[in-house]
Structure 1
Amino acid sequence: MAKKIRPDGKEKVTGRLKYLTDLAFSNMLYGKILRSPYPHARILSISTDKARQLPGVQAVITHKDVPGLNGFGIVTPDQPVLCKDIVRYVGDAVAAVAADSVETATRALELIHVQYAPLPVLDSPEKALEEGAPLLHPNGNVLHRAGFQKGDIESEFAKCAAIVEETYHVPRQLHAYMETEGGVIVPEKDGSLTVYVGTQHGFKDRFQLARILGMPEEHIRVVSSPMGGSFGGKDELNIQPYGALLALSTGKPVKIHQTRQESIRSSIKRHPMKITMKTGIDQDGRLRAHQTTIVADTGAYATLGPAILDFAVEHTSGPYMIPAVDTKGISVFTNNGVSGEFRGFGGNQVTFALEGQIDRLAAAIGMDSVEMRRLNIRREHDLGPLGQQIAETNGALDVLQSAAAVYAEKKPSSQNQDRWKRTGTGMAITMHGGGLGFGRMDPAGGRLSLKEDGKIEISFGFEEAGQGILAVIETITTEQLGCAKEDISIMIGDTSLVPSSGSTTASRGTSMVWHSLQRLKKPFLQKLLTRAARKTGTKEGQLSIGPGGIWENGECRLSFRELASEQAPIVISTQFDFPVSPDPIDSAHFLYTYSGVVAQVEVDLLTGRINVTELHQSLSAGPVVNEMGYLGQIEGGGVMALGYTLMEDVIMADGHYVTENLDSYLIPGIKDVPFNLQVKAVESLPAEDDYGPRGVGEIGTIAVAPAIANAIYDAVGLRVSQLPVKPETVLKSTEERGVLHGSQSSNSGGN
């Protein structure tokens, strides 16, 4: 793995890079959005007269000012842009203003009078599913049901020597990106609109905005890069409709940049879930039956809730082969904040539960948990978790063996205890599907062009969200073409200049760049060499592409600039779909990555505080394209998951956010990062594999929570079933079992 400097690295670390929220234009106005103070209420009236009369206010809009579809949603447009008669959560928008200053816009919101009639609040899936509960949407309070069955579940349970049944609770998590939602929307002189707003899918935003604004898509340009973080949170529209409506209303650029408090109130979060698992094992250590029920709180609107539930259902059995599986999932509308896409896409929640089951089962029959995993692990020629054909790989076994070696090395140190602290080591493994899955529109593509200035331009419809996609594009392009990085220019994140390449989601970016270059390079190089042969009078077979231009016998004969001097451009494009299983199983994935995680923790018996001292991740995702980017994704994902495990929970009560800002929401700081943070890449793939490197944007987050949970059990005997693990939970457990006084061994005890 060669270390390479990121193309955007210097600008970012020096602060010279301008994000889209840094942009400013002449005559620019400032927008603010009025959101509901109630989680559920009927709107009786909206009065904007006083706000319109405030000096400096240029526009005030309500639902009456939406010319097209008053709704958005990346799949189902069920969320009103501006609510007309009902509000369903405290982030619902009712009005928006544009003014000469942020202060004036803020004051204008205070002058808008909305009369509400509060309605009953459904602040949990259980309440929403009660008979007689008010219906939040015309089709009821169930957004989506999903399930999977194979084998005779009752017959297999009858063969089990031990059965473990447990209910796991996982929290609502904040994306906590550094740059909150925002940007500038500019009305152009020709009647078109330019939208400078961070998003993960510029073309999908353009499609949605066209419906809302009642204007052709080609009249809307979306510039979506760079942005300061997303992790899934900016895959859905956020401030774009309001800025666009205000810009068109005033004829001036409008900037909206949400405060952190506004962001928490309105942004999507990771789905809270209640997961009940009943899993059985025979005396030899073979998993026989696995039954799961998932209840997801999707909040007030759909966004990607159905797909996330489907993904969770698919991954409930993880990298294990189990004869009988029965999984049922339900995603429920509530009056809580909207849950949506988040790094891991439902895999984090079910993996925490599954790996907790595995360690509990191993203990129940007195078997080593590593050996039990090895006995049940998915092998190279096995089918996928939904019975579908998948890309063959021994990735699951590879990461297990790698993690097992680390676990064997670190486990003895768990015995090094002192009076006030206990050390524990735990492990977990997982698999994660890349792409959107069978039956989902998942287009990809790219374009290579030789520009007039001699630069080879590589274009994709991807967005740069801090994930390092520019370095991936640079590395793959130069390696595949044989040119130098100075020879290329990268164009992404601008719908007017790039081809539609699908979303910057689902760990698909690296894979799609690689697949695109496989299709583009041969015809592109052929055209370059044909032109070069004509210009030099040399046979094509004697020429090759190299740094700076066309080479012959170790010398550069023709620069790319000289080659581009002819008027006829050289442009090669490709369009294709992300690889999917040949089996027509809805939402099933084909390309998987695998991870094995070992965590070591130190538990303070006086405070209950848990310190993760070591975190080791072994990944099987094919060849590493860029080492710095690879390490950044896995290390960063691991720290994000550490926060999910030990401290992060966006608390809601009665449909209101108790957590309103980062002053009451803890995320990991530099002192929380394990002092020993290790990443091992397992790069081997079967010789016949034609699918290249897989993306690693999500896999580093998924198995960390169960590894830490298993380490906590090793340290103090506490079986974790709810995240985040709070110090008071640890203290209560250790006190009840006398761990502090030494009356019970550290690795014994129950729930």
Structure 2
Amino acid sequence: MALNRTTSGARWRVRPDGPEKVTGKLAYLTDMKHEDQLIGRVLRSPFAHAGIVSIRTDKAKRLPGVHAIVTHADVPGLNRFGIVNPDQPVLCEDRVRYVGDAVAAVAAETADIAERALSLIEVEYIPLTVIDSPELAMSKGAPKLHPGGNVLHRNQYGSGDADEAFARCAHVVEETYDTPRQMHTYMETEGGLFIPEEGGRLTVYSPTQHGYKDRMQLARVLALPEFNIRVVSSPIGGSFGGKDELNVQPYGALLALKSGKPVKMHNSRWESVRAGLKRHPMRITMKTGTDAEGRLLAHRVRIVADTGAYATLGAEVLNFAIEHVTGPYRFPNVDVEGVSVYTNNGVSGEFRGFGGNQAIFALEGQMDRLAERHGIDPWDFRRMNLREPDDPGPFGQEIVRTDGVRQTWTALAEHPLWLGRDHMLSDPDKPWLRVGTGAAFVMHGSGLGFGIPDPAGGMLALAADGKIEAIFGYEEFGQGLIATLELMMLEQFGIGEGDLRIVIGDTDRVPHSGSSTASRATSMMWKSLQRLRGPFLQRVLEEGAKALGLPEESLRVGVGGIRDAAGERVMLTYKELADSVSEEIRFQTHFPFPASPTKRVGAHYLYSYSAVAVQVEVNLLTGRTKLLKEFHAVAAGPVVNPQGFLGQIEGGSGMAVGFSLTEDAVMEQGAYLTRNLDTYLIPTWADIGKDIEVLAIEELPEGDEHGPRGVGEIGSVGIAPAIAEAVFRATGKRIVKLPIDPELLQELPDFLGKPAE
């Protein structure tokens, strides 16, 4: 299926949440208010690394309008959070480890009073040595940032004998690649409304990608049973991984319970910058060798990731990067090691692509350099070394077989953008503008990987008002989940929009469906409906036949209710059916995300594939690179929602343009030099490619039971290496560091350097 902004067809429809979003009518969670609410604020450390001598709150407590102040002494349960590794203090006790570490929080009647109260809290610090790089953190004698030292996690993978293989190589390329600290820059910054309820319950309205995990963590912090906490987690104004961990939730919850009043919190952009998560900066050194014909023989990789002050999902991101540094290629001899390191920099965490973006930028750079050494077309060089359909995964694990590698390679090889790459001439009237084309390959794992709890499931029910409810524990944060689920229900069940109610993002109402992350939600909703459809429809028809006194075979489920077999008229509305049944019609399913039987933690079972080609224009006067055209061939199974599919690829691509060309949250000595969006340049409509074509390759092998794969991440992964190669084709300059420094590309054309005649 070819998709672009002008594509039309029967499956293209108005997105259910679209009109309210584009008109500004939709109430996001941070838009919520309560008539009796207080305003919450957090006092954060101005130091990247310091000991805490004392925290004095007496003056702030006496300020009129202040209803609650909390420090670490007021945390009733575990004073730590983190989904996997809870090592981040809710409120620091004896030390702060980054600019933004939380020390105290206040709830007051107005924002001004809350800010004034923060200024009255007296904290005495003793500045400590700032560890502002992984290299410094791992140096001999470096101060320990955590009891276990400065290394969060190490991982390695090897096969064959890399040393022996390198000795046999005809060509060896060794390069070091650096990637930036990228911000998620969601439009809705972190926040929420926290309401204490009768009976000691707490209701949390706050953006997150996993309401059940928030509930679990808050229960630990507050020393409450999980059932005493309700988390409403949708709709969300963007996340991209940045709201998967707790952010303001512990402070809002503590303040609400202590004050006995609703508390609203909403971060400013500067608060979001200093306290929010970022993409892991990585330094990746690769040594890759080939034989005389161009076959890959050996691959050695060393990864150093800056996880910042606390763990978050740093270990898991590193594991994903290690898995993906071999990509869709056959390497008989591999030696990969990686380390994720604590520093006093801003906290790194989950981000769209989850370490794959950094890994693929480096890997594809190696492929292009080796192709040049051999004098082989870079796309043909890749074809020589691609995995075959029956090959195992990067760790040697069993994976689900598809022909996605060959299909995407062929699609790009035959596309006009790639076929015309050698005929794109610069404008003779503007010799300072150079045009180039580059391409990249992506193999991207779906789900959390082997050994990591990855539950899935959902529920279908006929409500008392006659609505068929699709109930899932996922969140809508812009990815189009509601639209996708609606389309699946309409197409698979034959009902109408008016018959359906979608229930998501509320721990009091939905089952545990797992996280809305890792390109898994669409796959797991589809699988859930496959499991639920038969039992649900059978029961509906059984009860309908009973109510009508007709045989089941004379009836069918359709728009508006149970219809005659021909579907011509409604025999029984769904409301009438609901009124007639003595026992509620409700079915639920639970199952794990499919995992490889090969037992290696983090190894994936399902992969999607993408081939990306881009055309860029480089201005030699300014050094700026402009993206002109894009082509994405994506093999991810059946397309459920064409608009959503295209939107995910386009959106991921736009984010990757920033990763490639403009975005870097610059830090110096542990302090952000970037404080707002005026100095942090995210791509606008003028910067992203206007000419984007997406080819969705939907075919799966016969017998594949896994259905559509998610595409929320894959569109963001291949753009950077493709742009880097296109820049090389335009200028002859190789890129090893992102974002691309314009000064590297600036040249003085000959005609400008000559005196006038």
Distance 1:397 1:372 in 2: 13
1:264 corresponds, among 255, 273, 276, to 273
Distance 2:593 2:750 in 1: 52
Q: Give the secondary-structure state (helix, strand or coil) at the position aligned to 1:660.
A: coil
2:98 corresponds, among 86, 89, 95, to 89
User: Percent identity over the alignment?
Assistant: 57
Partner residue in 2 for 1:41: 50
Distance 1:592 1:532 in 2: 42
Indicate whether 1:464 and 2:479 are aligned. no
Quote the offset at 1:708 in angstroms.
0.3
CA contact (8 A) 1:403 1:618 kept: yes
Quote the offset at 1:741 in angstroms.
7.7
Quote the offset at 1:583 in angstroms.
1.2
Distance 1:594 1:408 in 2: 18
Distance 1:56 1:296 in 2: 45
Partner residue in 2 for 1:399: 408
Partner residue in 1 for 2:320: 311
Quote the offset at 1:414 in angstroms.
3.0
When structure 1 is superposed on structure 2, of 631-640 and 540-549 the one drifting more is 540-549
1:677 corresponds, among 677, 692, 704, to 692
Indicate whether 1:160 and 2:175 are aligned. no
Quote the offset at 1:532 in angstroms.
1.1
Distance 1:369 1:722 in 2: 21
Structure 2's unaligned 5+ residue stretches are 1-8
Quote the offset at 1:742 in angstroms.
11
Quote the offset at 1:178 in angstroms.
0.3
Indicate whether 1:717 and 2:732 are aligned. yes
Quote the offset at 1:527 in angstroms.
0.7
Partner residue in 2 for 1:561: 575
CA contact (8 A) 2:434 2:620 kept: yes
Q: Deviations for 1:696-739, whole angstroms, at most 9, x for unmatched residues? A: 000000000000000000000010000000211212xx46xx78
2:636 corresponds, among 621, 624, 642, to 621
Indicate whether 1:193 and 2:231 are aligned. no
Partner residue in 2 for 1:340: 349
CA contact (8 A) 2:426 2:433 kept: no
Partner residue in 2 for 1:232: 241
Q: Deviations for 1:289-343, whole angstroms, at most 9, x for unmatched residues? A: 1110000000010010010000000000101111111100000000001100000
2:718 corresponds, among 693, 697, 703, to 703
Partner residue in 1 for 2:521: 509
2:466 corresponds, among 446, 450, 454, to 454
Distance 1:29 1:491 in 2: 29
Q: Deviations for 1:541-593, whole angstroms, at most 9, x for unmatched residues? A: 23221111112232322111111113421000000000111111211001111
Letter in 1 for 2:119: E
Partner residue in 2 for 1:475: 487
Distance 2:418 2:98 in 1: 49
RMSD across aligned positions (CA): 1.3
Residues 638-677 of structure 1: matches in 2 within 5 Å?
638-677=653-692
Indicate whether 1:602 and 2:611 are aligned. no
Indicate whether 1:285 and 2:300 are aligned. no
Distance 1:696 1:247 in 2: 38
CA contact (8 A) 2:178 2:281 kept: yes
Distance 2:188 2:13 in 1: 26
Q: Give the secondary-structure state (helix, strand or coil) at the position aligned to 1:144.
A: strand
CA contact (8 A) 1:414 1:715 kept: no
Quote the offset at 1:238 in angstroms.
0.2
Q: Give the secondary-structure state (helix, strand or coil) at the position aligned to 1:276.
A: strand
Distance 2:493 2:279 in 1: 40
Letter in 2 for 1:443: P
Q: Deviations for 1:44-74, whole angstroms, at most 9, x for unmatched residues? A: 0111111111111111111111000000001
Relative to structure 1, the CA distance from residue 150 to residue 739 in structure 2 (aligned partners, 3 Å threshold; closer, same or farther) is: farther
Quote the offset at 1:417 in angstroms.
4.7
Distance 1:330 1:722 in 2: 19
Quote the offset at 1:740 in angstroms.
7.7
Q: Deviations for 1:614-644, whole angstroms, at most 9, x for unmatched residues? A: 1211111111111111111000110110010
Quote the offset at 1:157 in angstroms.
1.6
Q: Deviations for 1:494-522, whole angstroms, at most 9, x for unmatched residues? A: 00000010010000010000000011111
Quote the offset at 1:676 in angstroms.
1.0
Q: Give the secondary-structure state (helix, strand or coil) at the position aligned to 2:712.
A: coil
CA contact (8 A) 1:379 1:393 kept: no
Across the two proteins, how many residue pairs are aligned to each other?
Answer: 739
Distance 1:362 1:121 in 2: 43
Relative to structure 1, the CA distance from residue 12 to residue 232 in structure 2 (aligned partners, 3 Å threshold; closer, same or farther) is: same
Distance 2:445 2:613 in 1: 21
Distance 1:409 1:165 in 2: 29
CA contact (8 A) 2:418 2:437 kept: no
Structure 1's unaligned 5+ residue stretches are 744-751
Q: Give the secondary-structure state (helix, strand or coil) at the position aligned to 2:200.
A: coil
Indicate whether 1:427 and 2:439 are aligned. yes
CA contact (8 A) 1:43 1:114 kept: yes
Letter in 2 for 1:648: E
TM-score by length of 1: 0.97
Quote the offset at 1:539 in angstroms.
1.8
CA contact (8 A) 1:716 1:739 kept: no
Letter in 2 for 1:30: I
Q: Give the secondary-structure state (helix, strand or coil) at the position aligned to 1:160.
A: coil
Indicate whether 1:251 and 2:266 are aligned. no
Quote the offset at 1:223 in angstroms.
0.3
Partner residue in 2 for 1:15: 24
Quote the offset at 1:538 in angstroms.
1.8
Partner residue in 1 for 2:4: none
1:207 corresponds, among 202, 211, 216, to 216
TM-score by length of 2: 0.96
Letter in 2 for 1:396: V
Quote the offset at 1:465 in angstroms.
0.4
